Amino acid sequence: MPALVRMDRTGAGWRGTFSAMAGPCEVLLDTDDSLLAHTLAQLACAEARRIEAKFSRYRDDSVLHAIHAAAGAPMRVDDETAGLLDLAAACWELSGGRFDVTSGVLRRAWTFDGGTRVPADAEVEALRVLVGWEKLTWRRPELVLPAGMELDLGGLGKEYAVDRVVTLLREEARVPVLVNFGGDLHASGPRRDGAPWRVGVEDPGREDRAARVIDLAGGALATSGDARRYVMSGGERLGHILDPRTGRPVRGAPRSVTVAADACVQAGVLATTAMLHGPGAEAFLQAEAGRWWVTR
Amino acid sequence: MTRRLLLGAALLAVIALTGCASMGVEPWERDLLARPAMALNDDPIALALDEHIYFSKEASTGGLGFGGGGCGCN
Amino acid sequence: MAATKGTFAKLLAGACATLGVAATPSRASEVDTAALAYVEPDRVKALEMVIAANHDLGDGLLGRIKFVYDALTGASANGAVPVYDAVQTFTRPSGRGTYRIQPGDTPLDDTFRDARGALSAGLTKPLGRLTKLDFGVYGSGEHDYTSLGANAALSRDFQKRNRTVSLALSVNKDTISPEGGRPIPFAEMLSPSQTPQRLDGDGSKTVLDGILGVSQVIDRSTVVQVNYSVSVADGYQTDPYKVVSVVDPVTGLPTAQLYEHRPDKRTKHIVYGLLKRHLSRDVVELSYRFMSDDWGVTSHTADARYRLQLGGDPGTYLQPHLRWYRQEAADSYTPWLLDGETLPEFATADYRLGPMTAWTYGMKFGRPVGENRRVTFRLEYYRQTPDNPADAPGQLAQVDLLPPVSAVFAQVGFTTEF
For all residues of chain A together, what is the average pLDDT?
Answer: 85
Specify if B39 maps to a domain. Answer: yes
Q: Chains touching chain C at 3 or more Cβ pairs under 8 angstroms?
A: A, B
Task: Determine the pLDDT at residue B2.
Answer: 61
Interface check C58 vs A, CB under 8 A: yes
pLDDT digits (tens, 9 = 90+) for A122-150: 888 888 889 999 999 999 889 999 988 99
> How many residues does the structure list for chain A?
296
Over residues B40-50, the mean pLDDT reads 91
CA separation (Å) from A293 to A27, A211, C128?
24, 11, 14
- What span, in angstroms and rounded, lies between the C-alpha atoms of C287 and B64? 10
Among B34, B36, B37, the residue with its CB nearest the CB of A215 is B34
Specify if C2 maps to a domain. Answer: no
Amino acid at C228: Y
Of C383 and B35, the structure prediction assigns the larger pLDDT to C383
pLDDT digits (tens, 9 = 90+) for C20-41: 777 887 777 899 999 999 999 9
Over residues A251-262, the mean pLDDT reads 87
Overall domain count for chain B: 1
pLDDT digits (tens, 9 = 90+) for C190-210: 888 888 888 888 889 999 999
Cβ <8 Å between A189 and C24: yes
For all residues of chain C together, what is the average pLDDT?
Answer: 90
- What are phi and psi for residue C383, nearest 5 degrees? -130, 120
- What span, in angstroms and rounded, lies between the C-alpha atoms of C39 and C50? 18
pTM tops 0.80: no
CA distance C215 to chain A (A): 20
Please count the CA atoms within 13 angstroms of the CA of C320 that sit on its side-chain side.
2
Pick from A115, A121, A110, A124: nearest CA to A231: A115
Specify if B6 maps to a domain. Answer: no
**Confidence band of C136 (pLDDT split at 50, 70, 90):** very high
Asked if C174 contacts C146 with a C-beta cutoff of 8 angstroms, the reply is yes
Cβ <8 Å between C25 and A218: yes
Does residue C19 sit in helix, strand or coil? helix
Residue A201 with chain B: CB contacts under 8 Å: none
pLDDT surpasses 80 at A111: no
Cβ <8 Å between C313 and A193: yes
Task: Determine the pLDDT at residue A26.
Answer: 92
Q: Chains touching chain A at 3 or more Cβ pairs under 8 angstroms?
A: B, C
Overall domain count for chain C: 1
**Confidence band of C333 (pLDDT split at 50, 70, 90):** very high
Residue C313 with chain A: CB contacts under 8 Å: 192-193
Handedness of CA C67, C72, C78, C79 (dihedral sign): negative
* Cis-peptide into A141, omega within 30 deg: yes
CA distance B39 to chain A (A): 11
Specify if C241 maps to a domain. Answer: yes
Q: A221 has which bridge partners?
A: A185, A260
Cβ <8 Å between A195 and B36: yes
Specify if B49 maps to a domain. Answer: yes
CA distance A210 to chain B (A): 9
Specify if C11 maps to a domain. Answer: no
Residue B1 with chain C: CB contacts under 8 Å: none
Task: Determine the pLDDT at residue C113.
Answer: 76
Task: Determine the pLDDT at residue B17.
Answer: 62
Tell me which residue range forms the domain holding C351.
31-417
Specify if C23 maps to a domain. Answer: no
E-strand ranges in C236-355 read: 243-247, 254-259, 265-278, 283-293, 298-309, 317-328, 337-338
Of C242 and A207, the structure prediction assigns the larger pLDDT to C242
Of C302 and C4, the structure prediction assigns the larger pLDDT to C302
- What span, in angstroms and rounded, lies between the C-alpha atoms of C253 and C81? 9
Tell me which residue range forms the domain holding B47.
34-59
Specify if C224 maps to a domain. Answer: yes
pLDDT surpasses 50 at C52: yes
CA distance C398 to chain B (A): 25
- Looking at residue C385, which CATH number applies to its domain? 2.40.160
- What span, in angstroms and rounded, lies between the C-alpha atoms of C254 and A276? 89
Cβ <8 Å between B59 and C378: no
- What span, in angstroms and rounded, lies between the C-alpha atoms of C353 and C327? 8
Among A12, A194, A213, the residue with its CB nearest the CB of B36 is A194
Does residue C16 sit in helix, strand or coil? helix
Cβ <8 Å between B35 and A210: no
Specify if C396 maps to a domain. Answer: yes
Specify if B45 maps to a domain. Answer: yes
- What span, in angstroms and rounded, lies between the C-alpha atoms of C268 and A24? 61
Q: Residues of A near B (CB-CB distance < 8 A)?
A: 11-12, 193-196, 198, 200, 210, 213, 215
Residue B28 with chain A: CB contacts under 8 Å: 198, 200, 210, 213
Residue A197 with chain B: CB contacts under 8 Å: none
